[in-house]
Amino acid sequence: MKKQYVLGLDMGGTNSVLGVVDKEGKVVARASIKTQQYPEINDYVDALYHEAEQLVAPLGGFAAIRGIGAGVPNGNYYTGMIDGAMNLPWPHVPFAKLMSDRFGIPCTITNDANAAAMGEMIYGAAKGMKNFIMITLGTGVGSGIVIDGKVVYGHDGFAGELGHTIAVRGENARQCNCGRKGCLETYCSATGVARTAKEIVSSSTSATSLRSLDIDHITSYDVFKAAEAGDEVAKQIFDFTGTLLGQSLADFIAFSAPEAIFLFGGLTKSGHWIMEPIVKAMNENVLSLWQNKVKVQFSALNEADAAVLGASALAWE
């Protein structure tokens, strides 16, 4: 039987979504399980197997599946290991081997941002591009760097951690979960936006609708809604966030001279409120030979399918 499908796995700390994907990038079937429900890794892999078995049955079974691609926290493309993923029940496991052994199908893994970059290159707006950067703006800031048509992994499989470059230096820089201070993701992730909102609302007397919310539970979406309603403080928060990110993008351009930078993730729902200060700051700070030449745009992947598509792209390699 012709192997005309692949399996894509988007493993999150809370949910894991499994999809069957065809060569045109259509998710033809999907299922999900609760990641934290399985404290033993073999039980988790078994649960995925049984879900996949039902998904592929109408398509001819596993004989129709070419391979498995998985986007996983701290996934190492070279070794197939999950290395130090603190939001998982099993932070250090040979995940690709466990999946290959159980399914009888080759499995390739990487982290979620690299998977998103692969998905954009094969299915999205980066088709035909050989040099671009994918920035994921969610709970953290992830990145996938593509040079000459290949994702950059480095010598150990962990290259491209642009979210952990230093955006703000000094004693008052924000503490990052990685152990350093001032990392980009502490300012320009969805949680970073919420943190900025909390700091500004707590330290100023400016009139803002955000003041009516529980200060400890403000979200980036709350800030977006306030900006849409004309709240000047909310606009200031997005300007601060976008400026920092744009300044960092100017530095990233100097590294790889990308044709475009794609933004993906929950924070992109903020639309022009986040995009305009990003582009402005990037072009004000980039080396003149790249000024106004690098496109910045939102991902073209359907959000509901993007993570699974990105992961599945690994299996077509």
81 assigned to some structural domain: yes
Q: Quick one: average pLDDT of 216-232? A: 95
CATH of the domain at 168: 3.30.420.40
269 assigned to some structural domain: yes
pLDDT of residue 122: 87
- Tell whether 31 and 142 lie within a shared domain: no
% of the chain surpassing 90 pLDDT: 80
**Residues contacting 214, CB < 8 A, separation 6+:** none
Q: In whole numbers, what is the pLDDT of the chain averaged over residues?
A: 93
- pLDDT-derived band at 302 (thresholds 50, 70, 90) equals confident
- Tell whether 97 and 153 lie within a shared domain: no
pLDDT of residue 100: 97
**Residues contacting 109, CB < 8 A, separation 6+:** 69, 70, 71, 72, 75, 76, 77, 80, 82, 95, 96, 314
- Tell whether 151 and 108 lie within a shared domain: no
- Tell whether 67 and 163 lie within a shared domain: no
248 assigned to some structural domain: yes
pLDDT, one tens digit per residue, over 181-196 is 999 999 999 999 999 9
Number of domains comprising the chain: 2
123 assigned to some structural domain: no
111 assigned to some structural domain: yes
- Tell whether 158 and 245 lie within a shared domain: yes
- pLDDT-derived band at 298 (thresholds 50, 70, 90) equals very high
Q: Show the tokens assigned to 185.
A: 């993701």
- pLDDT-derived band at 219 (thresholds 50, 70, 90) equals very high
Position 84 pLDDT exceeds 90: no
- pLDDT-derived band at 1 (thresholds 50, 70, 90) equals low
pLDDT, one tens digit per residue, over 261-285 is 999 988 999 999 999 999 999 999 9
- pLDDT-derived band at 220 (thresholds 50, 70, 90) equals very high
Residue-number span of the structural domain to which 109 is assigned: 5-118+304-316
- pLDDT-derived band at 35 (thresholds 50, 70, 90) equals very high
- Tell whether 97 and 151 lie within a shared domain: no
- Tell whether 43 and 80 lie within a shared domain: yes
- Tell whether 105 and 148 lie within a shared domain: no
115 and 144 in contact (C-beta within 8 Å)?
A: yes
- pLDDT-derived band at 223 (thresholds 50, 70, 90) equals very high
- Tell whether 255 and 311 lie within a shared domain: no
- Tell whether 35 and 112 lie within a shared domain: yes
34 assigned to some structural domain: yes
308 and 17 in contact (C-beta within 8 Å)?
A: yes
- Tell whether 148 and 282 lie within a shared domain: yes
221 assigned to some structural domain: yes
Position 14 pLDDT exceeds 90: no
- pLDDT-derived band at 87 (thresholds 50, 70, 90) equals confident
pLDDT, one tens digit per residue, over 131-146 is 999 999 988 899 999 9
